[in-house]
A and B are shown apart, each in its own frame.
Chain A
Amino acid sequence: MNAVGGMPPSAAEIDVESRTPMRFGAVGNLTRGALGGNGSLLAGLIILGTLIALGLLAPVIAPDDPVKQDINNILVSPGNASHLLGSDQLGRDTLSRLLYAIRNDILIALGAIILPFLIGTLVGVLAGYRGGWVDSLLVGIVDVIIAFPILVLLIALVFVLGPGVRTIIIAVAAIDWVVYARLARTSARREAAMEYVIAAQVGGVPTRRVIVRHIIPNLISQSVVYAMSDAVLVILFITTLGFLGLGIPPPAPDLGTMIAEGQAYLNSQWWLAVIPGAAIVVTALGLSLIADGLAQKLDAR
């Protein structure tokens, strides 16, 4: 009996000749084999893991206090024994500021996407599954918020709310949830029309349980993938706010603020602006690679 032990690769995978139209893509995935998303995913996890570790360990490994000014040692070049990556115009240690800035930015970014992820997904699933006026209302709100250029609305919100970490998180959440809601709504509508959901309803599974046990598990991975690429955007937004002087209030270090402060010295002390910029690129790359790898794994299924 074939039921005993592992099944062969499911018929659907190799069965390139079924009643449904021949899906060349499925074959393509198969031929590429396991090469798929694992490479990106691994690289991304290593990059992000290293950065998070560096950030979390900043209090331990940072050679200096990131806000301590040393007027006698301003604009020191990298390679110096006491300032490995040099110091800035106020004599603060660049390496220490960099580590703390990575810590601050990654933590705020992750903090800022958890709220919209949870709220948006939940609202989207409920509206998509229930339909009716709740759904229409959600679509209306989404359409309105999407109509704004995100960064402009974000800056406006941060401006009126007054700068600060809490403000940033609230402002991002207030805008970003609609994207998760829209994603979850579309998926929930698709899943709700699937026969397995209808079968559960016919079998007497209560609505709440259908949503929690049947619909959410089937759409959540897609939202997680989106959250990873969303984190890239949020990092960019946060550092942009910092660059514009609307971010984390000084003197706490932030990569965007560091670039803004360093830009005046670009022709002499280039590293002051180049290094934090490179740190943003690497962080974002780590997140993008994770998103990419997850998306490919998801596709392969």
Chain B
Amino acid sequence: MPAEQIEGKMTDVKTKAEDAAPTGADPLLSVSDLRIELAAGGDRIDLVSSAALSARRGEVVAVVGESGSGKSLTLRAIAGLLPVGIEVAGGRIDVDGIDVVGADAKTMRALRGGVVGMIFQEPMTALNPTMRIGAQIAEAARAHGKLSGGEAKARAIELLGQMGFTEPERRYRLYPHELSGGMRQRVVIAIALAGGPSLLLCDEPTTALDATVTMKVLDLIVGLASELDLGIVLVTHDLGVAARICDRIVVMYAGRVVEEGSPEELLQYPRHPYTLALLQAVPTRESTIEQLQAIRGTPPTAGEIPAGCPFRPRCAFAEPECAAPVELAEVTPGRVTACRRQAVLAALEERSLA
């Protein structure tokens, strides 16, 4: 797709976000200094060592990173859905004024589904195979808000209709295995919305889907965000998906946030060498193989993350000083990076603009 079209799309969404800005002066979601650890035997392994994230109502924020970057764990921590053995070891998570890290079980139940809806990667496995799809949606609706069985059913049918199901009354009675992957993902979205949440967390929602289906599902999610004034956090490894639908991109590497900014700025003028290297390594339909540059080395394994800047061993810009710890710092309004050498990147940006 020509780049203009993408930019057009992005500005569209942005205007919407700006419209919504007044209502969302206070961030709906704010995550700071989040640390997540795996307790293995006596050892504790850092999986996420510093994650910071915020989202306002009506805003779509993408968290981008490769496998092992800690993006999915960060997302799950927000809903208190970390796997057994993995826990939050420090930092704060606030959702709509609720302190998630310190919350008791009852608060968390009210939060899940009621304040935070979640969409998963694998629509094949995210639905209960022995339960009708309608019942699964209705159940989510009944868990929040006092609905009778009939009301919950009506709500589920209404949601199915909103998700683009024709004849929702009839589809209500289907089982997950009777639906295609894209349709199942719509059911998952309906479940996530049934409790009337204000924040929608999406964990690689389109990775398992074909490209044409991906687009439809993404459009549906973005449409809902503006219609219902939801905040959306979308975790993906696909920079293209992030570029296409979000207002802000947060890049994670080795359990840390390394850069954050608007898609236009971040994807065209990155201020962290990892982002830059990633962009140079992703083939596009306009680029040729001569322009493609591999990143040397492999992403570090959890528990083996180098001290200082974690990208240092793979970085083309690294200097000895990069071995010292580095903090996220704002470089221009709305742009944050965790790189000591960002001045070099800024100079490169100057040069390309000149």
Contact = CB atoms under 8 A, between A and B. Distances in A.
| Among B40, B45, B122, B125, residue most surrounded by chain A Cβ atoms (within 10 Å) | B40
Given A24-B83, A24-B84, A28-B85, A17 B40 contact: no
Interface residues of B, number: 29
A30 B68 contact: no
Given A9-B301, A28-B84, A21 B40 contact: no
Nearest to A2: B298
B304 A30 contact: no
Interface residues of A, number: 19
Given A17-B69, A17-B70, A27 B41 contact: no
B301 A8 contact: yes
Contacts of B72: 17, 22
A9 B301 CA distance: 8
Nearest to B124: A21
A132 interface: no
Contact of B41 (A14, A19, A28, A33): A33
A31 interface: yes
Contact of A19 (B45, B84, B207, B303): B207
A17 B83 contact: no
Contacts of A11: 68, 301
A18 interface: yes
Nearest to B75: A17
Contact of A17 (B41, B67, B85, B301): B67
A19 B125 CA distance: 14
B47 interface: yes
A299 interface: no
A17 B70 CA distance: 7
Given A14-B47, A15-B68, A17-B67, 10 more contacts: A8-B301, A9-B303, A15-B67, A16-B38, A19-B204, A21-B122, A24-B83, A27-B84, A31-B41, A33-B40
Interface of B: 38-41, 45, 47, 67-73, 83-86, 120-122, 125, 204, 207, 237, 298, 301-304
14 contacts: A14-B45, A14-B68, A15-B67, A15-B68, A15-B301, A16-B38, A16-B47, A18-B68, A19-B204, A19-B237, A24-B83, A27-B85, A31-B38, A33-B41
